[in-house]
A = this chain, B = another copy of it.
Amino acid sequence: MVIVIMDGAADRGVRALNNATPLHHARHENIDGICTLGMCGLMYTIAPGVAPGSDTAHLAILGYNPYENYCGRGPYEALGAGFDLKPGDIAFRANLATIERGKIVDRRAGRISTEEARELLKDHKTVEIDGVEFIIEHTVEHRAVVVIRDHGLCSAISDTDPHRVGVPPNRAIPFVGTKDCERTALLVNKYTAYMMDALRRSPINRERKKRGLPPANAVLLRGAGAYKPVASIKEVFGIRGACISGVALVRGVARALGMRIFMHERITGGKDTDVGFKAELAVKLLENNYDLVLLNIKMTDIYGHDGDFRGKVEAIERIDREIAPLLNHVMDYEHVLALTSDHATPVSVREHTADPVPLLVYAPSCRTDTVKHYSEVSVASGALGVLRGTDLIRVLLDQAGIGEKFGE
Minimum Cβ distance to chain B for residue A72 (Å): 9
Q: Which residues of B contact A391 (CB under 8 A)?
A: 47-49
Would A55 and B408 count as touching, CB distance under 8 A? yes
Would A367 and B13 count as touching, CB distance under 8 A? yes
Would B380 and A381 count as touching, CB distance under 8 A? yes
Would A73 and B407 count as touching, CB distance under 8 A? yes
Give the copy number.
2
Minimum Cβ distance to chain B for residue A219 (Å): 18
Minimum Cβ distance to chain B for residue A334 (Å): 11
Q: A70-B406, A385-B385 are known contacts; what are 13 more A-B pairs with Cβ within 8 Å?
A: A21-B367, A42-B383, A44-B385, A49-B396, A53-B405, A66-B407, A73-B407, A349-B365, A349-B401, A367-B376, A377-B383, A380-B382, A381-B381
Q: What is the interface size of chain A, counting residues whose CB is below 8 A from a CB of the partner?
A: 68
Bound Cα distance A80, B386 (Å): 35
Q: Which residues of B contact A19 (CB under 8 A)?
A: 37, 367-368
**B-contacting residues, A314-363, CB 8 Å:** 346, 348-349, 352-356
Q: Which residues of B contact A388 (CB under 8 A)?
A: 48
Would B384 and A51 count as touching, CB distance under 8 A? no
Instruction: Determine whether A15 belongs to the interface, using a CB cutoff of 8 Å to chain B.
Output: yes
Bound Cα distance A66, B407 (Å): 9
Q: Which residues of B contact A395 (CB under 8 A)?
A: 48-49, 354
Considering the complex, give the chain B residue whose CB is closest to the CB of A55.
Answer: B407
| 7 cross-chain pairs, A with B, having the tightest CB-CB distances, nearest first | A49-B394, A53-B407, A56-B407, A385-B386, A19-B368, A48-B391, A354-B398
Would A223 and B408 count as touching, CB distance under 8 A? yes
Instruction: Determine whether A54 belongs to the interface, using a CB cutoff of 8 Å to chain B.
Output: yes
Cβ contacts A to B, 27 pairs, < 8 Å: A11-B367, A12-B366, A15-B364, A15-B365, A19-B367, A21-B367, A44-B385, A47-B391, A48-B388, A49-B395, A49-B397, A49-B398, A50-B405, A51-B398, A53-B405, A53-B407, A66-B407, A249-B408, A346-B365, A349-B401, A354-B394, A355-B367, A367-B377, A368-B377, A369-B377, A380-B383, A385-B386
| CB 8 Å contact bits of A177-194 with B (1 = contact, 0 = none) | 000000000000000000
| CB 8 Å contact bits of A54-66 with B (1 = contact, 0 = none) | 1111000000001
Binding site for B on A (CB under 8 A): 11-13, 15, 19, 21, 37, 42, 44, 46-57, 66-67, 70, 73, 223, 249, 346, 348-349, 352-356, 364-370, 376-377, 380-388, 391-398, 401, 403-408
Bound Cα distance A403, B11 (Å): 16
Bound Cα distance A86, B393 (Å): 40
Contact of A56 among B46, B364, B406 (CB under 8 A): B406
Contact of A66 among B356, B377, B397, B406 (CB under 8 A): B406
Bound Cα distance A83, B143 (Å): 59
Q: Which residues of B contact A48 (CB under 8 A)?
A: 384, 387-388, 391, 394-395
Would B49 and A393 count as touching, CB distance under 8 A? yes
Bound Cα distance A384, B352 (Å): 17
Considering the complex, give the chain B residue whose CB is closest to the CB of A223.
Answer: B408
Q: Which residues of B contact A42 (CB under 8 A)?
A: 383, 385
Determine which residue in A50, A381, A392, A396 has the highest number of CB atoms from chain B within 10 A of its CB, and name it. Answer: A50
Known: A47-B394, A387-B48, A394-B49. A408 touches B54 (CB 8 A): yes
Would A354 and B386 count as touching, CB distance under 8 A? no
Q: Which residues of B contact A54 (CB under 8 A)?
A: 407-408
Bound Cα distance A54, B249 (Å): 42
